[in-house]
A and B are shown apart, each in its own frame.
Chain A
Amino acid sequence: MRVELEKKAWILDEIGEVEWFMLSQLPESADFNRSEKARRRILPEVCDDEDVAADWRDYARPELEARFRDEIRVVASDLRRVEELLKKGKSGSQFRLKVPVEHAETWYGVLNQARLILNEEHEVVETEVSLMSGELVPTAIEEQQWLIMVQYRIYGALQEFLLTHLMESP
């Protein structure tokens, strides 16, 4: 997969089938209602004070939920505009996705949300640290966990691209 930047869009090109599968999972992976762990991380309690907590539940949290839902809808809509490219001489499909520059921050947020949820549900960071320190050997990791780690890394790489090229400081 290559990422390119144009004036009005950023383009994911030469997306392989596995990468496309990971990208297509993004809206589902970022769904904060998919598990209690996901909900607790994305919409955490803000205060021990009951008065403040009640205000938060009544006003702030519903606004955050609406915002997060809207952002997932934008990304899902962008994903539906994928082009499937069958390239001569190469086996399998490749995909190309063009995303408007003005959606960059929304994409960053949804990618971030998905990584936060994946880590919360599958302890991705802990597994990676254990691998790096040698406490855990690669063969001890089940296939499903590897796939989640690959998904987590792909999302992180895209976030780094967006952060470097499209997210400006004030």
Chain B
Amino acid sequence: MPLTTDDPDVKMEEKEGTDLDSPWNVVLYDDPVNFMGFVTIVLRRVFGYSEAKAEELMLQVHHEGKSVVWTGVREQAELYAQQLQAHRLLASMQRAN
């Protein structure tokens, strides 16, 4: 969204690539230490997923090494990534586009 001002001397620019509305992925990575059952519990707790959905994502992480477990606005993605890391899961954020 362009930023505006009534003052003609003030030039405001939107920093390219940092708009808050563009979607972000929360990515969960496989690690050989965390128990699979624990990862499923964490996915249910953090995102409110059903057991089936959480297990499907956990298995994708296990077999493919990583999985996009959520996509949405940056602030929420940061919160989710923090919650995953609080459970000692390896998680990162990446721009979705």
Residues of A at the B interface (CB closer than 8 Å) are 42-49, 51-52, 55-56, 60, 63-64, 67, 108-109, 112-113, 115-116, 119, 125, 159-160, 163, 167, 169-170
Q: Taking A56-B78, A170-B44, A170-B48 as contacts, is the C-beta distance between A112 and B92 under 8 angstroms?
A: no
Is the beta-carbon distance between A46 and B92 smaller than 8 angstroms?
Answer: yes
B76 at the interface (CB under 8 A from A): no
Is the beta-carbon distance between A160 and B35 smaller than 8 angstroms?
Answer: yes
Partner of B33, one of A67, A115, A170: A115
Secondary structure of the A side of the interface? helix
Quote the shortest CB–CB distance from A45 to chain B (angstroms): 7
Quote the shortest CB–CB distance from A70 to chain B (angstroms): 11
Residues of B at the A interface (CB closer than 8 Å) are 18, 31-35, 37-38, 40-41, 44-45, 48, 51, 74, 78, 81-82, 85-88, 90-95
Is the beta-carbon distance between B34 and A112 smaller than 8 angstroms?
Answer: yes
Is the beta-carbon distance between B81 and A67 smaller than 8 angstroms?
Answer: no
Chain A residues closer than 8 Å to B51, beta-carbon distance: 169
Partner of A170, one of B18, B45, B88: B45
